[in-house]
Structure 1
Amino acid sequence: MRPALAAALVVLALIAPSRARAGNDDAVLLGNEAAMAGGAVSAVVSDGSATWYNPAGIAAVDRDTLDLSGSATMLRIADTPGLLRSATGAQANGGYYEFLGIPSAVTLVRRLDCITSLGLGIFVPQLTGHTDRVGLEELTPDYLARFQLTQQESSSTYYGGITLGVALAPNVRIGVTLYGTYRQFALTTQFFGGAERGGEDLVAFGVASLTSIQSVSIEVGAGIQWEIVPGVLFGASLRSPGLLLGSLYRVTSSSFAAGPDDLELDISDGSGLEPRIDMVTPARLRVGLAYRWDGGWIGIDGDVQHALVRPGIGVDREWVGGVRIGGRVQIDGTISMGAGLFTDLDATRAVGDYGQTQLDFFGGTYGLELRNPHRLGEGENAADIVFVNTFALRYAVGVGRIGGLQFDTMPEMGEGISIVEVDTQVHEISLHLGSALYF
């Protein structure tokens, strides 16, 4: 029975997550303008989402604004042939449907004086929550083996930012932002299997684990917007590396192996609070160029992030960049339309864990904005208040690889259990519903 228990422990080690997971950084487009135009807004953003895309845009806000926006619904569909497989050729397909409601951004901008504005924002750029179930049956002349693997994963990232923007001149603006970040990750795994021959049980094993990680970090950002010549706008922003301040973790695992005559069991549990100063995310440089005319604009953005390797916290990222192009046009005084194309590439250097993905996303957006102004009486601070509603669709397809699990021998199961890279594809469809109040 010792080889069977050793096999169970090997499987548990292979399916346990690393301390942190790199991956895609722009799963959600934050803010109404970005949701319409594919995120190509560095040079033109002038609402509360400037806190995220380019702090200088806060200084372009010409009146106080309260902006509530969210990808109210998102559907993810993943398809992974051969996620669980045996060397004899038996395999089982993986995949899931994930349906989420994401409150992606809440911002408030107040003008302090004619050249200075203050912005506050809460953003949710990443949110996942799905369950993947895979069952495999392997029939050979020597034995019948059955396996069942279930993983339930949830993760979220929350940013809070405070931004100060200043108009140095009518055509030049700068801004700085301080961000605080909270990250949460939880993974529950259950894996059971066994083999029989001629109606007699040969061996059975099971492994289960629960991992929960919470962490806090800080970042700073700075940006500039410059109208080089009338109608031609340049924007750039630089985000510092994320500085991890500490994390709280809990890891519980158990495994068993049973045969006709005996049973072996192993249980472990660990938790702790780790004050730790380390880089958890890389610096990010965004650069954008736009052309604006009376009634619309079109822009292109690019960004780059450097490689970052921190084995102690499970970060292993390579250099990655992205490109976005988009724009919007005013149809009449109350309706405008926007569209865009974007890439969201994965920075994961290599697939090393079961369920870990390396996916590059490509997609597009289309949206409408409806403005509804209401006149105010004499003596008010503004001539009117404006209610804005935004509706935008986003579609993206992700192609790449995921870590699958392969068994090389049965029933010993202690030899040749390994992670294999498997092709996978993910489709994302989201509806962005946003509202804003200009007062």
Structure 2
Amino acid sequence: MTTHLPSGDLGADFDTASFQVVPTSLTYVYSLQGRDAGGESNHPVRQSMALSVIVPQAQKFDKSVSTNTSDVTGQGVAFDYHSRISLEMVRTRYFIGPSWGIAFADRFAVGASLFLVYGQSAARGGFNVDAVYPDAAGNAVHDFALVESRAAMTDLGAALVAGVQWRPVHRLRLGLTVRPPGVWFYRAVTGNSMEASAVGQERAFSDTEPAGSPWGLGMATPFSLTLGIAFAEPGRFAVAVDGDWAAPHKDSKAGIRRGHCFNGRVGTEIYLSERWLLSFGAYTDLSADPTPEDLAETRMHFFGATAAVTVMTPYAVTGSEKTDRITFSNTFGLKYAYGYGEVGGFEYTPLADEPLKFHSKAASSHEISAIVGASVLF
């Protein structure tokens, strides 16, 4: 029996599905002016303070793939191939800080937020292969290779956000949000990697630690801005469109090489009744990352849509003119996003001068998320 094994015949693709619970934000808003019994403020100039905890990024990927095959070649040499590749990545970022805003007669408003930013990312990857195959002379060759790597980064920084909103006519609002470059003042990077091969008797090990003190100062996020427009018919419907732009961001120490990035969103809110609201939206999340050059690097573009329903329940103490009305608002929805792009992969050729070669590979993604939100207005 003769078995033909053309180059590139054996491969494996990553395919993963996961369930994640991600708290996105928690905000407390306090009005610096009093309110009447109906819960409204009649002051021409109104100020508010807020304290927020926001989680804009919480990603986790954990997957392993094994490949096993065996056969007999035309030279009578057994062909056995066993390999396993594993990837684990975690990225989390928290924004914590106060906000202040002031509105003038509901026509013009300005606000600003100052956040302490905490970020943590970690990645671990491994590849091992054990193979028996014939060489050019038909003799059996036993090959073993191992590649392991680990990297982690923890950083602390600060970010400033400022915005203005203007209502030129009764139902139309225009808004602009500006985000100056965010900075980091603490960044600790650790990592190590190991490569071993039984064929060439090669051994290699490297260990990476932060050079000098992790305390310093650098740019964590680039300058960006968002421009939006909204049209609302109070108590009936609202439509909003906004777009944002982010400047290029390059940091050789952190391996960041991003170019200009543009994204947009559109949403509508429909009042079914005084208590029930129906919302729909669509958005883009295009990546500014370069083409992947290493394992697990990604460049994915996402297009998504959302649908949600909001229930508002007001409460008030009967017969009391001094007690403000309290309104509980609960939102339930679904979000779907389709992504396409490239991820970093590799090709293993045992007899080549360079057995392990990294290259990018086309990838797609489907994401479904549940949306649960709650607020208390008083």
The TM-score, its normalising length taken from structure 2, stands at 0.86
Distance change in 2, residues 1:132/1:414 (3 Å): farther
Q: In structure 2, what is the equivalent of residue 323 of structure 1?
A: 264
The aligned counterpart of 1:95 is: 15
CA distance in 1, matches of 2:83, 2:125: 13
Equivalent residue, structure 2, for 1:423: 362
Contact 1:87–1:406 (Cα < 8 Å) also in 2: no
Q: Is 1:245 matched up with 2:165?
A: no
**Other structure's SS at 2:253 match:** helix
Q: Is the Cα–Cα contact under 8 Å of residues 196 and 203 in structure 1 kept in the other structure?
A: yes
Match for residue 245 of structure 2? Answer: 304
Residue 174 of structure 1 corresponds to which residue in structure 2? 110
Identify unmatched segments of 5+ residues in structure 1: 1-85
Return the alpha-carbon distance in structure 1 between the equivalents of residues 220 and 355 of structure 2: 33
The answer to whether residue 145 in structure 2 is matched with residue 205 in structure 1 is yes
Partner of 1:82: none
3-state SS of paired residue (1:348): coil
Give the distance between the partners of 2:98 and 2:7, measured in 1 at CA.
55
How big is the shift at 1:120? Answer: 1.0
Give the Cα separation in 1 of the matches to 2:358 and 2:203. 24
1:271 aligns with 2:202: no
Residues 225-234 or 306-315, more deviating = 306-315
User: Aligned partners of 1:416 and 1:271: how far apart in 2?
Assistant: 28
In structure 2, relative to structure 1, the CA distance for the partners of 1:345 and 1:380 (3 Å cut) is: farther
Deviations 1:160-193 (CA, angstroms, capped at 9, x unpaired): 1311101134300000111211111111212101
Cα distance in 2 between the residues matched to 1:168 and 1:294: 19
Question: One-letter code of the match for 1:402?
Answer: V
Matches for 1:288-303 after TM superposition, within 5 Å: 288-295=228-235, 296-303=237-244
Answer whether contact 1:212 1:249 (CA < 8 A) is retained.
yes
| Structure 1 residue 357, shift from structure 2 partner | 1.2
- Taking the aligned partners of 1:120 and 1:258, their CA distance within structure 2 comes to 58
Is the contact made by 2:291 and 2:360 (CA closer than 8 Å) also made in structure 1? no
CA contact (8 A) 2:291 2:342 kept: no
Contact kept, 8 Å, 1:402 with 1:423, in 2: the verdict is: yes
**Bigger-Rg structure (1/2):** 2
* Aligned-pair CA distance for 1:128: 1.3
Q: Which of 92, 98, 110 does residue 30 from structure 2 map onto?
A: 110
Question: Out of 260, 272, 282, which is 2:222 matched to?
Answer: 282
1:1-400, aligned counterparts within 5 Å?
87-113=7-33, 114=43, 115-136=46-67, 144-197=80-133, 202-259=142-199, 265-272=203-210, 274-295=214-235, 296-377=237-318, 381-400=322-341
Distance in 2 (alpha carbons) for counterparts of 1:98 and 1:178? 33
- Give the Cα–Cα distance (whole angstroms) in 1 for the partners of residues 258 and 7 of structure 2: 31
Distance in 1 separating the partners of 2:185 and 2:132: 51
> Take 1:250 and 1:309, find their aligned partners in 2: how far apart are those partners?
20
Q: Which residue of 2 aligns with 1:26?
A: none
**Structure 1 residues 361, 88: CA separation in 2 closer, same or farther (over 3 Å shift)?**
closer
Cα distance in 2 between the residues matched to 1:130 and 1:380: 54
CA–CA separation in structure 2 for the residues paired with 1:382 and 1:104: 31
Q: Distance in 2 between matches of 1:348 and 1:185?
A: 17
Residues 166 and 173 in structure 1, CA contact (< 8 A), matched pair in contact too? yes
Judge conservation of contact 2:294–2:359 (CA < 8 Å) in 1: no
Distance 1:287 1:197 in 2: 61
Greater shift, 264-273 or 232-241, is seen at: 264-273
Partner amino acid, structure 2, of 1:258: A
> Would the aligned equivalents of 2:53 and 2:94 in 1 still touch at CA under 8 Å?
yes
Residues 90 and 137, structure 1, Cα contact 8 Å, conserved in 2: no
Q: Secondary structure in 2 aligned to 1:92?
A: coil
Larger RCO, structures 1/2 (Cα 8 Å, 6+ apart): 1
How far apart, CA to CA, are the structure 2 residues paired with 1:122 and 1:382?
Answer: 29
Contact 1:97-1:130 within 8 A present in 2 as well: no
Please tell me the root mean square deviation across aligned C-alpha atoms, in Å: 2.3
In 2 relative to 1, CA 417–264 (structure 1 residues): closer, same or farther, beyond 3 Å? closer
**Alpha-carbon separation, structure 2, partners of 1:245 and 1:371:** 42
Distance 1:380 1:89, change over 3 A: farther
* 8 Å contact from structure 1 (residues 377, 383) kept in 2: no
Deviations 1:136-172 (A, max 9, x none): 4577767544321111111111111311101134300
Count of residues in Structure 1 that have an aligned counterpart in Structure 2: 350
- Inter-CA distance 165–381: structure 2 relative to 1 (3 Å threshold): farther
Secondary structure at 1:97 match in 2: coil
Task: Say if 2:191 and 2:207, in contact at 8 Å, map to a contact too.
Answer: yes
- Write the letter of the residue equivalent to 2:57: Q
Change (3 A) 1:111 1:328: same
Structure 2's unaligned 5+ residue stretches are: 1-5, 34-42
